[in-house]
């Protein structure tokens, strides 16, 4: 007895080999959803910065070369993000010192 596979989104019966649902057109396999496309990853990078990295590596849509480029860009963003946080921290510390001890 074969288990009948259905689409996660619209529950239409599907073939095991299908990558996309015939009824609603959505992806059926892990790593093929919108967030794994170039558009999805760029959007994630803008929203979440370095946290988009796992999506880059789980994606089965983008090429290995693209994965390295995305990773480099995301790590660079992450680096500048940490640097900015550190500078902000120093600035707050300096301002607090000035307020406490006068100029």
Residues that bind Zn ion (CB under 5 A): 7, 9-10, 21, 23-24
**For residues 25 and 54, which CB has a smaller minimum distance to Zn ion in the complex?**
25
Q: How far is the CB of 10 from Zn ion (least distance, A)?
A: 3
Find residue 13's DSSP bridge partners: 6
The distance from CA 60 to its chain's CA centroid, rounded to whole angstroms, is 13
Separation of first and last alpha carbons in the chain: 82
Q: How far is the CB of 24 from Zn ion (least distance, A)?
A: 3
**For residues 9 and 60, which CB has a smaller minimum distance to Zn ion in the complex?**
9
What's the token pair of residue 43?
Answer: 């959007």
């Amino acid at each position: 007895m074969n288990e009948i596979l259905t689409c996660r989104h619209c529950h239409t019966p599907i073939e095991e080999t299908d990558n996309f649902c015939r009824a609603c057109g959505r992806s059926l396999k892990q790593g093929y959803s919108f967030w794994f496309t170039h558009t999805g990853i760029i959007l994630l990078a803008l929203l979440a910065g370095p946290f988009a990295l796992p999506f880059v590596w789980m994606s089965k849509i983008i090429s290995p070369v693209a994965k390295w480029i995305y990773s480099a860009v995301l790590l660079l963003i992450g680096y500048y993000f940490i640097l900015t946080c550190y500078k902000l921290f120093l600035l707050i510390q300096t301002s607090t010192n000035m307020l406490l001890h006068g100029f």
